[in-house]
Amino acid sequence: MTIVLIAVLCYLAAAALLVRGVARDTRNALWAVPALAAIVLHATAHLLVWRDVGTELHFFAALSLVGLGMAALTALYDIRGRMAALGVIVFPIAALMLIGYGQSPHPPSDTLDWRLQLHAWCALLAYATLAVAALLAMLLWAQERAMRRREFHRWLRALPPLTELESLLFRTISVGFVLLTATLVTGVVFVDDFFAQHLMHKTVLSVLSWLAFGALLLGRWRYGWRGTRAVGWTLAAMALLVLAFFGSKFVLELVLQRTV
């Protein structure tokens, strides 16, 4: 699809402009033009396919939608503050996810009840938000490590101050936790048979991830958790969430060739 190619090029152009800004130690919003264009085109690519075959939520479609959500959230963060490093990482990832979707088949999809669609959209938004949180956690770890070693690399200029980055991380986790809670609640209320729909293992892993994120937020509020402890909990909880959704979808849809 031509629209996919254009969106991919826009994502890469946005990332390249952010890299150039870091290299020259300049800050401008020129990167936002291709980034916003890429996000709009990314969404349009899905809408055009859905118009013909119905709403797709298979492995590559879900992966691409999560990439779209990550890119949109990253653009918001980059526009509001100094977060060029996040855009340099996320925009190429979103481009790769879109390429995977563009190259995948698009068979006619069953129409989902609005309640199941609500559950699915809550899940995709939660995964996108918490995936960005995981990347923020890794950037926080890298920033702390560089500062402890007194290695003041140029890329540090693409990040906000340490305390600001840490605050952004926990705000992102809080939003993702609310969305993940909504995902679990709508799943319990609207999904009838966990076993017949191969959902029990997803539910167990998702609940474990929810408990881990909840424990992290509680530890932050009650005991002031931060630094490497916060990073470790964030990455562990995100790993459980990836296994819950994309790990199981990969095995069921691509390995076992089953529909979920």
Q: Could you count the other beta carbons within 10 Å of the beta carbon of residue 18?
A: 25
- Same-domain check for residues 86 and 144: no
- Same-domain check for residues 131 and 254: yes
Using 50, 70 and 90 to split pLDDT, how confident is the model at 196? Answer: very low
Per the structure, how many domains does the chain have? Answer: 2
Instruction: State both tokens at 130.
Output: 């918490």
- Same-domain check for residues 67 and 150: no
- Which residues have CB under 8 Å from 50's CB, separation 6+? 56
CA 219 to chain centre: 23
- Same-domain check for residues 84 and 180: no
Instruction: State both tokens at 219.
Output: 């530890």
- Which residues have CB under 8 Å from 226's CB, separation 6+? 166, 220
- Same-domain check for residues 119 and 202: yes
| Mean pLDDT score of the chain | 86
The DSSP symbol for 111 reads: P
End-of-domain residue from the set 111, 143, 165: 111
- Same-domain check for residues 107 and 120: no
In whole angstroms, give the CA distance from residue 4 to residue 38.
9
**Mean per-residue pLDDT, 99-128:** 84
- Same-domain check for residues 140 and 215: yes
pLDDT tens-digit readout, 16-52: 999 888 777 677 778 999 999 999 999 999 999 888 7
Instruction: State both tokens at 32.
Output: 């936002």
Tell me the pTM.
Answer: 0.91
Which residues span the domain enclosing 149? 113-260
Question: So what's the pLDDT on residue 140?
Answer: 92
**∠ CA 185-188-193, rounded to 5°:** 160
pLDDT tens-digit readout, 67-106: 999 999 999 988 876 688 899 999 999 999 999 998 887 7
Question: So what's the pLDDT on residue 193?
Answer: 63
End-of-domain residue from the set 89, 111, 133: 111
pLDDT at 256 over 70: no
- Same-domain check for residues 235 and 180: yes
In whole angstroms, give the CA distance from residue 173 to residue 171.
5
Q: Which of 138-142, 189-193, 198-202 has the highest mean pLDDT?
A: 138-142
Write the DSSP assignment of 185-245 as a string of letters: HHHHHH---TTTTT-HHHHHHHHHHHHHHHHHHHHHHHH---HHHHHHHHHHHHHHHHIII
In whole angstroms, give the CA distance from residue 102 to residue 97.
9
End-of-domain residue from the set 111, 127, 160: 111
- Same-domain check for residues 106 and 124: no
* Closest alpha carbon to 169 in 93, 120, 238: 238
- Same-domain check for residues 143 and 57: no
* Closest alpha carbon to 68 in 31, 50, 41, 86: 41
- Same-domain check for residues 133 and 255: yes
- Same-domain check for residues 125 and 254: yes
